[in-house]
């Protein structure tokens, strides 16, 4: 476990090594960012996006929250989405869940009186469980039930992205971004793709916008 002093020391070592390998790295990085990917992941400390993908600083725009959710009334995630799509003009959005997700496990349990705010956040996952309860309850083990709900949650978040005016407008105007749903395996460190939605793919009519300026 790193102490705060160790973190600062490690930062100095990293910065020195980075400068030695590429003297212009920080000067270039300070000017602007041009990531091609928006990563929407879980806040879990075991799933750092840059580390598990071996990405460099500047390659991904990242938003993380409990259980990697995209909620239509959450201005935090929507503002990240809008900036990434409209300003950075990213080409891909990845929603990445992970095995043994604590948020998903908590959503399968009775609500905790001491976590009133968290309960509200997890309500959306509880609704996914309710809609797929027969399938989930038929899983052969509790671990399998949790991991299947993790997959269903990722699939739902990708659909939610496609239902936003931000994505639909970008699809109409510049045929991007492509949406992806992945799950990270804590036990093997590998990413497993679940779904890809190409720009302009079919969306249920009730989620389509009549006006692309909505």
Domains of the chain plus CATH, in order, are: 36-44+58-198 (3.40.1050.10)
- Identify the band that residue 214 occupies on the pLDDT scale cut at 50, 70 and 90: very low
**In Å, how far from its chain's centre is CA 213?**
25
Is the four-CA dihedral 26, 27, 30, 32 of positive or negative sign? negative
CA dist 209 → 101, 134, 168, 196, 203 (Å): 33, 32, 8, 21, 10
Which structure tokens are listed for 146?
A: 């949790």
Angle at 69 between CA 201 and CA 108, to 5 degrees: 115
Catalytically annotated residue among 2, 19, 22, 46: 46
97 and 47 in contact (C-beta within 8 Å)?
no
Catalytic residue check, 101: yes
Catalytically annotated residue among 44, 124, 145, 163: 44
Catalytically annotated residue among 98, 124, 163, 180: 98
Strands (E), the chain: 37-42, 60-65, 92-98, 178-184, 191-197
pLDDT at 2 over 80: no
CA dist 18 → 12, 56, 59, 61, 201 (Å): 10, 11, 15, 20, 41
Residue 55: per-residue pLDDT: 95
pLDDT at 1 over 80: no
Catalytically annotated residue among 96, 101, 124, 145: 101
pLDDT tens digits, one per residue of 42-65 = 999 999 999 999 999 999 999 999
pTM: 0.93
Residue 210: per-residue pLDDT: 84
With tokens 């109409």, the residue in question is 172
Catalytic residue check, 2: no
pLDDT tens digits, one per residue of 97-146 = 999 999 999 999 998 888 899 999 999 999 999 999 999 999 999 999 99
pLDDT at 212 over 80: no
73: DSSP letter: T
Catalytically annotated residue among 2, 19, 22, 42: 42
Residue 114: per-residue pLDDT: 87
Catalytic residue check, 92: no
pLDDT tens digits, one per residue of 184-200 = 999 999 999 999 999 99
Residue 105: per-residue pLDDT: 96
Catalytic residue check, 42: yes
| Residue 14 CB partners (closer than 8 Å, separation 6+) | none
Catalytic residue check, 46: yes
Q: What average pLDDT does the chain have?
A: 95
Residue in 196, 197, 195, 194 with CA at minimum distance from that of residue 207? 197
């Amino acid at each position: 476990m790193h102490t705060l002093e160790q973190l600062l020391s490690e930062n100095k070592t990293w910065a020195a090594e980075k400068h030695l390998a590429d003297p212009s790295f920080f000067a270039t990085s300070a000017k602007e960012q041009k990531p091609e990917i928006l990563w929407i992941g879980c806040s879990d400390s075991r799933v750092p996006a840059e580390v598990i993908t071996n990405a460099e600083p500047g390659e991904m725009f990242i938003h993380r929250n409990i259980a990697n959710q995209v909620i239509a009334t959450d201005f935090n995630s929507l503002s990240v989405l809008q900036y990434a799509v409209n300003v950075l003009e990213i080409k891909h959005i990845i929603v990445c869940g992970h095995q043994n997700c604590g948020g998903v496990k908590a959503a399968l349990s009775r609500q905790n009186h001491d976590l009133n705010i968290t309960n509200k956040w997890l309500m959306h996952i509880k609704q996914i469980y309710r809609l797929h309860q027969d399938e989930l309850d038929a899983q052969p083990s509790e671990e399998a039930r949790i991991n299947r709900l993790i997959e269903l949650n990722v699939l739902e978040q990708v659909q939610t992205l496609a239902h936003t005016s931000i994505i639909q407008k970008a699809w109409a105007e510049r045929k991007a971004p492509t949406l992806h749903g992945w799950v990270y395996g804590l036990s093997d460190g590998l990413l497993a793709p679940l779904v890809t939605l190409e720009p302009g793919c079919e969306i249920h009519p009730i989620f389509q916008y009549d006006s692309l300026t909505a």
